[in-house]
Amino acid sequence: MAVTIGQRLSAYEITSLLGKGGMGEVYKVRDTRLNRFVAIKVLPEHVSKNDEVKQRFEREAQTLASLSHPHICPIFDVGQHEGVNYIVMEFLEGQTLANRLERGPLPLDQALKIAVEIADALDKAHQQGIVHRDLKPGNVMLMKLGAKLLDFGPAKLKPVGPSPTLSALPTRADMTAQGTILGTLQYMAPEQLEGRDADARTDIFAFGEIVYEMVTGRRVSKAEAMRV
């Protein structure tokens, strides 16, 4: 079933489309029970019958639910209504880092503040065995109270032992076939481009590219990145 403005998914009334991609559509909705605005992510109709995509969608909800951090967008609810699978999240008012970078580089103090917030969010995820795998400016929301990391759809999870270290957080291809490439080309680490397993260092590679872009106002070329 296609989602339309004015439609209700359970207690959530669709008010406007915030964004869409091949793997999800995000809407601003009104929670009629609590009388507040939230964001809802739904599976597009054309992929809703794909079992692998549905499992990845459910895994995103589980991933977000396991992360409580001031710089990670929280999840409020998850459900299904008349065949539509959805995740309910905090409605964030601001602009993406990608939108901000269209105007050029950030002042150094602002870039460092955002970098620290993203790094702190990644550290939280990595400590829980979660690798984002699609870190990019479009998945960082800038608001008055700071940055928030979005879209854990491509994330991979691994049970963390009693004494995890950053270099000991490999992720297994539990729901992604070996050789499958997930992520955004410009910010992919070499192992992602080769379709190999990702670990926390994959996110750190993308993080370095984002910091470079915030400070210089331009993207690092893949040739430059591979020489680092």
Q: What are the DSSP calls for 52-106, one per residue?
A: HHHHHHHHHHHHHHT---TTBPPEEEEEEETTEEEEEEEPPPSEEHHHHHTT-PP
The partner residues of 28 in beta bridges, in order of sequence, read 16, 39
Q: Is 174 a catalytic residue?
A: no
Of 31, 77, 134, 199, catalytic: 134
In this structure, are residues 61 and 180 in contact, taking their beta carbons and an 8 Å threshold? no
Report the candidate in 126, 130, 118 with the shortest Cα–Cα distance to residue 210. Answer: 118
In this structure, are residues 80 and 42 in contact, taking their beta carbons and an 8 Å threshold? no
In this structure, are residues 196 and 183 in contact, taking their beta carbons and an 8 Å threshold? no
- Residues with a known catalytic role: 134
